[in-house]
């Protein structure tokens, strides 16, 4: 992470600093330990029907309304073994309803079918919850070290070959691959950029130089509360179906964007630096993120994406901290992929960076600016897609075997911001994108992407010269771009959401 000063935008010398570490603690370590997922044996459960309030069309987000929040959460958490489960006697009751006779038979059969579907849904949820508990119990058991973060997170240091990625049927029994020898380099004429300080990526858990031992990777502990906030245990850590979050015209699903994109060519990666903000998110049904999308396929069910950036998602993480995240899918968010390490797929190789952990410090309005530099690129020899911190350390990779279209190349790359607008009370959400201020306010006030580049077929970094800018609703969130020698292709983006021009 690098601090940006006003002189850096104009091409002057930039100053590096790690800044202060935010240490706001939301729960005690005792609370976290009690809340951590542990194995539970249950054989018969009382049927409990959970009725969450219906979402708007925006239900395609990775965040949906939680039925367990506020003061009721500790009570519900204590009942977690009973949630989303059905008693073994339910099938008997279903059979009785199905074979009933007399008046209103049609209504009875309809009710029986509904109950039948509920039984299977509850069964799926029960099995999904069991798998999550078992996976996290295994992570805790396999951990060589546990680190308590000042912000309340618990980090397990798990042997790299035992991380979730290797639960994938096509990766089982493997170990992380060696780092590629060749990495993308700028072509002559590209904007000059200072080298990232090796290993500098401030996160609260690593305050004071903490790190996991060599040969292990840091994995953020998943808690019962994390699972309970999700709309579905079966889809925990996944974006909603048919969300098509990479689409620029997806406002009908409640997702709103302000992005720059390039298309019409073959791309083998992307790189940019973006400043990090503590964006305010209005409800647990919404999120705000800033990221890079590497995309291939159509925007139908065959969409492949690789994504990385920072996000504020109260549903996924339980707080309002901006967090480093990754995502992938091979079927337009239907059944494949997940955030971070919530499923098998992404292979982490770095022992100093925890995916899903909070980024600290963050940018301050009219004050210091802190940005992170991300590079996603395809190894021309092995075909894996690597995630790198600028010109610094590698985080890990998405194996090429996960993908269909991205097994070859990307046909679109996007950079920018996205929010979910659930239209609370019928009005536009006040959830912020970026800093929560419009691009016209400029440096020290608005969010930015700078040194926006793509990787070409020669494994070279080239400026994204054909970058197109689009904002779904400029009155809510806007975008403005320019070019200079210090920042190359860059743009400011974001906004406050609801305002007089965005009712």
| Catalytic center residues | 307, 418
From residue 206, alpha-carbon distances to 22, 177, 406, 431 in Å are 11, 25, 33, 29
Contact (CB, 8 A) for 455 and 300: no
Q: In this structure, what is the dihedral angle of CA atoms 121, 122, 126, 128, given to the nearest 10 degrees?
A: 20
Closest CA to 378 of 365, 369, 388: 388
Q: Is the dihedral of CA 334, 335, 336, 341 positive or negative?
A: positive
R_g over Cα of the chain: 23
| Cβ neighbourhood burial of 347 (10 Å; 0-12, 13-18, 19+) | buried
Contact (CB, 8 A) for 292 and 414: yes
Give the Cβ contact number of residue 209 at 10 Å: 6
Spatial neighbors of 160 by CB under 8 A, at least 6 apart, are: 175, 176, 215, 216, 217, 348, 349
Spatial distance between the Cα atoms of 291 and 417, rounded to a whole number of angstroms: 6
From residue 474, alpha-carbon distances to 21, 122, 257, 449, 494 in Å are 34, 42, 9, 18, 9
Spatial distance between the Cα atoms of 69 and 63, rounded to a whole number of angstroms: 14
Phi-psi region of 278 (alpha: psi -120 to 50; beta: other; left: phi over 0): beta
The residue behind tokens 């508990």 is: 133
Closest CA to 286 of 64, 27, 21: 64
Q: What is the DSSP letter of 441?
A: G
């Amino acid at each position: 992470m690098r601090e940006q000063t006003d002189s850096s935008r104009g091409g002057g010398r930039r100053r590096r600093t790690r800044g202060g570490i935010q240490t706001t603690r939301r729960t005690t370590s005792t609370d976290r330990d009690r809340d951590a997922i542990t194995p539970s044996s249950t054989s018969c459960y009382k049927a409990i029907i959970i009725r969450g309030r219906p979402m708007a069309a925006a239900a395609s987000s990775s965040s949906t309304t939680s039925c367990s929040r506020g003061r009721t959460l500790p009570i519900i958490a204590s009942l977690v073994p009973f949630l989303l489960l059905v008693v073994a006697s339910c099938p008997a009751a279903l059979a009785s309803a199905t074979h009933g006779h007399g008046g209103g038979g049609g209504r009875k059969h309809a009710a029986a079918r509904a109950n039948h579907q509920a039984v299977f849904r509850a069964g799926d949820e029960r099995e999904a919850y069991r798998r999550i508990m078992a996976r996290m119990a295994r992570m805790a058991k396999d951990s060589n070290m546990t680190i308590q973060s000042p912000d309340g997170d618990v980090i397990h240091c798990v042997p790299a070959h035992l991380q979730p990625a290797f639960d994938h049927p096509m990766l089982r029994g493997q170990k992380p691959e060696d780092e590629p020898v060749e990495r993308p380099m700028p072509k002559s004429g590209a904007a000059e950029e200072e080298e990232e300080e090796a290993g500098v990526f401030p996160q609260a858990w690593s305050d004071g130089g903490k790190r996991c031992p060599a040969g292990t990777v840091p994995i953020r502990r998943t808690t019962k509360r994390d699972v309970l906030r999700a709309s579905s245990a079966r889809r925990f850590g996944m974006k909603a179906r048919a969300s098509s979050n990479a689409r620029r015209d997806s406002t009908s699903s409640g997702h709103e964007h302000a992005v720059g994109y390039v298309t019409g060519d073959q791309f083998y990666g992307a790189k940019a630096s973006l400043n990090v903000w503590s964006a305010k998110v209005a409800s647990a049904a919404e999120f705000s993120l800033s990221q890079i999308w590497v995309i291939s396929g159509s925007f139908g069910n065959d969409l492949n994406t690789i994504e990385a950036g920072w996000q504020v998602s109260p549903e996924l993480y339980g707080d309002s901290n901006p967090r480093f995240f990754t995502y992938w899918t091979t079927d337009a968010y239907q059944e494949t992929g997940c955030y971070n390490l919530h499923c098998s797929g992404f292979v982490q190789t770095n022992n100093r960076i925890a995916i899903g952990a909070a980024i600290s410090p963050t940018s301050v309005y009219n004050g210091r600016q802190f940005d992170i530099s991300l590079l996603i690129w395809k190894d021309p020899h092995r075909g894996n897609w690597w995630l790198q911190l600028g010109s610094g350390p590698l985080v890990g990779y998405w194996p090429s075997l996960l993908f269909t279209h991205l097994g070859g190349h990307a046909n679109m790359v996007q950079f920018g911001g996205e929010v979910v607008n659930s239209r609370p009370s019928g009005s536009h959400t006040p959830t912020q994108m970026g800093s929560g201020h419009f691009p016209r306010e400029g440096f020290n006030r608005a969010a930015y992407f700078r040194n926006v580049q793509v990787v070409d077929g020669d494994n070279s970094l080239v400026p994204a010269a054909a970058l197109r800018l689009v904002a779904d609703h400029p009155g809510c969130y806007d975008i403005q771009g320019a070019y200079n020698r210090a920042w190359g292709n860059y743009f400011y983006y974001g906004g406050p959401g609801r305002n007089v021009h965005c009712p």
